[in-house]
Structure 1
Amino acid sequence: MLKEDVRHMFDEAAGGSSSSLKQIDTIQMLGLNYHFDDEIKGSLDTIMSTKDKNDVCDQENDLYTRALRFRLLRQHGYEVSQDVFKNFKEEMMMRSGNLKEWTVRDVEGILSLYEASFYAFEGEEILDEAQKFTTTHLKVQLIKANSIISHNKQNLSKQVSHALELPLHWRVPRAEARWFIDTYKTMQDMDPSLLEFARLDFNMVQATYQEDLKYVSRWWRELGLSEALGFARDRLVENFLWAVGFNFEPRFRNFRRQLTKVNSLITTIYDIYDVYGSLDELKLFTDGVQRWDINTMEDLPDYMKICFLALYNTTNEMAYHILRKHGVDSLPYLKKAWADLCKAYMVEANWFYNGYTPTLEEYMNNAWISISGPTAQTHAYFLLGDEMTNKDELERGDVPKSIQCYMHHTGSSERIAREHIKNLINDNWKKMNMDQAAASCKFPRSFINTTQNIARTAQLIYQYGDGYGVPDSETKDWIMSIVVEPIPCFEREI
């Protein structure tokens, strides 16, 4: 019944109105969008069919609405030009010296533009300027003692602080839904039916995660790697959270279960290369994975044999089920993904044993594979057919990471090095934004979303250090809120 109530909201809302756009945005942030994919697409199609796509909203004078519309269209792969903001550049610069005159609606508009700016493509200078301007002035609004958002709308202040910490586009959808459900209940325009639906849905989805976790826990226990390889990190729950971050929807439960297996094997193999194996042993293991031949086990030490066999059997079984269900032979691609990963680990092992600090370019050329993103992506593609970190890893004997490489070869301070890496992250998001919106993109939307969620999950895990290698309080809180603790559904609203 609650679901039908929400569906009726789409019928009642006007296609491109501010209220219609706000409704779509709210539903997405509450984590309910997977129930209404058709309705959301229909609303956005209506917007694009009634206006020239390069002049969308050109007559709209409200910055909040224009920026929200731009963000939603870009998010869903529609073509819309940054020129929709060109008329606001002069106004923004004129207002920059008169912050005391800003109203709540002004701040909402600036916040909306800030969020939209993170959907920029490479070379879009208007959006680059908008991001700098909005970041600066939102920070000012938080600092000013007489800020309009501090006095008149405390909830907006909370949203601004949250956005400045990390933009919406870079956040993990399920973690964001958990945060926003608590925030939404305090908002003036809160819809009780929508809030109740969001709470119930979150708890129902959480129940599927608990079943998934039971399944992978049983698999991990029976596999026996944790007991056999005591030096390796036992991070099953964190590996499962990665899978949830990649794709949270209930219908992708097999995807989450299989990706948890992949992530767990990646962790174990990484620790073999990183903290335990000798250089000669690592060469043998790398060769064995490249050849994908069970007979190569004869040359491996015992601890490597059990790991190789676990990898071999798990991957072959996964490929078998993909072939049986989808009629696609994925094994050649899965084997190559593992071989490429081990070769990248081998490069880092050679660097370490030779005491070599690579240049940032050398490091990045290898790290894009050794971070295991392509390995996870390859498995995800076929399964979808249906600062602390550096200190801790250096203590384990790990090769220097990107920040250390940049500092070593440029003589830069850590602050400058971190800013440089942050800019690289921003640049790569622009490339992803452009790729997913390109008319030539042939990948299904589910795979595009999953690929972007890999980056989002990594951002969340490593935001305040190494929440994976050395789980911090933020990571533990995330585990509790997403998997363990349900949301009370019958709170009395004040």
Structure 2
Amino acid sequence: MVQVLVNFPLTCIQPNLNILKTNSRSGPLHHAYRVQKTWQTRCSNQSAELTIDRRTANYQPSSWSHILFEPTSETDNEWENQTKILNKLESEVGSMLDCEDLEPQALIELINDIDQLGLSYRYRQKIKNALNKLRDLEDATGDKIKSSLHTSALYFRLLRQHGFEVSPDVFERFKDQNGNFNEDLSREVRGILSLFEASHLAYEEENILNEAKSFTSLLLKDSKKLVGANMSEQITHALELPYHHRMRRLEARRNIEAYAQRGEKNQVLLELAKLDFNLVQTKFQSDVQEVSRWWKVMGLADKLDFARDRLMESFFWSVGMAFEPQFSKCRTAVTKALTLITVLDDIYDIYGSLDELEQFTDAVVRWDLDAMKDLPEYMKLFFLALYNTINDLAYETLKEKGEMIIPCLKKAWADMCKSFLQEAQWYHKKGTPTFEEYMENGWISSGGAVLLIHAYFLVTENISNEATESLDNHHDFLRWPCIIYRLTNDFSSTDEIERGETTNAITCYMRGTGLSEEFAKKNVSKMIEECLMKMNKQLSSPSPFEENFIEVAMDLARIAFCQYQYGDAHSAPDVKAKNRIVSVMFDPIQLREAENDVKGGNN
């Protein structure tokens, strides 16, 4: 069992310094400071003091400062019993997918339920086989599917989601003689909601799906007051963020709880979903123990106390990118990378002088311990932590997969540091980049490319030269989710603006076009939509990457939406953000129904 004690700090401890406070707003977590202090490096063997002009963002400390791991209360027999139950239920659900007598509509609903409950990773090939069977039977059963707006939209979404080519022309039958969607459809709220969800799997220039999105959005907003509480909540949830863009494990938790309240439900499927969620959750807890030990040994949270300590938030990102239980090594590597990126970002954005940052960037580019000899002590400490962590990952990969990945990893970190340095130069030299210059640099400075490149080597079964070269050369499928990462981050970057760091996508767009903030945000949102449509197309297009990595790249965009939907849940996590982490990683779903079924079966 894992017991988590979460601290919710009411205030931040103020440093005992001579502080000139500027650009503040109410609330202890939103002060921006220019700090003039006598600074002595904490890890230095020398006693010489340096007077350096440094900033601090006054970030809130980690809310996960006390994580107590206690021995599990489950015996080996209990664990083995749960695994046996899961295997039995998994086999039963697999048989349902293989059933030849299942009506097409019922099969589509079953596939959707499996997906929504977070189980599709267990049935990837069976689902593809079932969808292929449905396609083969379209001539005979097509009218049964196509006559229903809900079934048509659901079938379309599932096909695209699982990499099948399907034309959106199937929705032409729901238009009137003037080429507009039929207003009578407003009575089919469930179908309208399904069409709204399907429209988010559009490719570029698929006008009918753009029309469908606009049409359904308006109808759903008008319908919320006319339907029951449950349907109204579903509509609100979808309009806030559609299913295709949501973090999969968090959504699975929500859908399991909602499915349990249904009047008609598949009890076998429900109990499998509950058991799967909890067993995968225990895997997360084991992974957290590992990265927590690593972070404690690193000691950076204590030594570099000007920077954010966001280990748990970083692990949550890794779960968003690769939740499947077999990807523990990926989650561990991504967590380490993002935790280090978070500290490094604060070194470049807040703490380091421009001369120091130029020296540090050179050291990372050279990837040479000799290059760090002239760095200040805090940078030496960080560089060595980074160097050892990345080299350890490369060693493990060479040992297990026979692949030498150091060149690719060090290039990724060097590219990111150069992009961080560019942003620091803009700030220190009062430079004003164009929107195009900002974005060309910003998608790399998001850090997403580093995370994806680490993930590639740990979720890919057969590492190929073509894929590795594509990563080195910034393949579009590396770039698109990182653009989304950057832009969603910029939408939430109010704290950076208050510190005077006004260079973000929105402000650059406003300066370059003369448009208002409202119009700038609309155009930046359009860029996000364009990237999403390009990524949708990649699901069914030839690619140098395996399916596992394509899903990870899609999931990077999803976790970015999740973490920046209500502000910056990485830098300034609030109670809602912490509750999301607890629900996915520490709070199990009750299994009483499953336990009762097993006991009854043994009598």
Report deviation, 1:37.
1.8
Which residue matches 1:89? 175
1:9 aligns with 2:96: yes
Which residue matches 2:312? 237
Q: Deviations over 1:303-339 (max 9, x none)?
A: 0001111111111111111111111111110010000
**Contact 2:314/2:338, CA 8 A, preserved across alignment:** yes
Which residue matches 2:537? 434
Q: Give the structure-2-normalised TM-score.
A: 0.76
The code of the aligned residue for 1:177 comes to A
Report deviation, 1:291.
0.8
1:40 aligns with 2:140: no
**Contact 1:13/1:19, CA 8 A, preserved across alignment:** no
Distance 1:93 1:234, change over 3 A: same
Which residue of 22, 26, 31 corresponds with 2:113?
A: 26
**Greater strand share, structure number:** 2
Distance 1:286 1:403, change over 3 A: same
**Contact 1:57/1:66, CA 8 A, preserved across alignment:** no
The code of the aligned residue for 1:89 comes to K
1:341 aligns with 2:416: yes
Report deviation, 1:64.
1.0
Q: What SS class does the counterpart of residue 436 from structure 2 fall into?
A: helix
Which residue matches 2:48? none
The code of the aligned residue for 1:118 comes to H
Which residue matches 1:113? 195
1:276 aligns with 2:363: no
Distance 1:94 1:167, change over 3 A: closer
Cα separation, 2, equivalents of 1:336 and 1:94: 50
Q: Deviations over 1:62-94 (max 9, x none)?
A: 111111111111111111111111221228946
1:414 aligns with 2:489: no
**Contact 1:389/1:470, CA 8 A, preserved across alignment:** no
Cα separation, 2, equivalents of 1:316 and 1:488: 42
1:122 aligns with 2:197: no
Report deviation, 1:395.
3.6
Cα separation, 2, equivalents of 1:359 and 1:88: 44
**Contact 1:203/1:487, CA 8 A, preserved across alignment:** yes
Equivalent residues in 2 for 1:54-453, closer than 5 Å: 60-90=146-176, 93=180, 95-96=182-183, 102-103=186-187, 106-143=188-225, 147=226, 149-150=227-228, 154-386=229-461, 389-438=492-541, 440-453=542-555
Cα separation, 1, equivalents of 2:130 and 2:279: 27
**Greater helix share, structure number:** 1
Distance 1:217 1:365, change over 3 A: same
Q: More displaced, 377-386 or 173-182?
A: 377-386
Percent identity of paired positions between Structure 1 and Structure 2:
45
Q: Give the structure-1-normalised TM-score.
A: 0.92
Which residue matches 1:469? 571
Report deviation, 1:491.
6.6
Report deviation, 1:56.
7.2
Report deviation, 1:362.
1.7
Q: Deviations over 1:86-109 (max 9, x none)?
A: 22122894642x57xx54xx1111
Q: What SS class does the counterpart of residue 118 from structure 1 fall into?
A: helix
Distance 1:382 1:390, change over 3 A: same
Aligned length: 478
Q: Deviations over 1:160-180 (max 9, x none)?
A: 111111011101110100111
Q: Which runs of 5+ in 1 are unaligned?
A: none
Rg larger in structure: 2
The code of the aligned residue for 1:78 comes to F
Q: More displaced, 464-473 or 164-173?
A: 464-473
Q: Deviations over 1:323-372 (max 9, x none)?
A: 11111111110010000000000110011112223222221111110001
The code of the aligned residue for 1:222 comes to V
Q: Deviations over 1:7-38 (max 9, x none)?
A: 22213365771111111111111111122222
Q: Deviations over 1:191-229 (max 9, x none)?
A: 222212211211111111111101100000001111111
Distance 1:70 1:94, change over 3 A: closer
Q: More displaced, 83-92 or 469-478?
A: 83-92
Report deviation, 1:423.
1.2
**Contact 1:216/1:261, CA 8 A, preserved across alignment:** yes
Q: More displaced, 27-36 or 398-407?
A: 398-407
Cα separation, 1, equivalents of 2:439 and 2:189: 38
Cα separation, 1, equivalents of 2:397 and 2:143: 45
Cα separation, 1, equivalents of 2:100 and 2:517: 50
Cα separation, 1, equivalents of 2:116 and 2:145: 27
Q: What SS class does the counterpart of residue 262 from structure 2 fall into?
A: coil
Cα separation, 2, equivalents of 1:388 and 1:377: 22
Distance 1:3 1:66, change over 3 A: same
Q: More displaced, 262-271 or 190-199?
A: 190-199
1:455 aligns with 2:455: no
Q: More displaced, 74-83 or 453-462?
A: 74-83
Report deviation, 1:46.
1.4
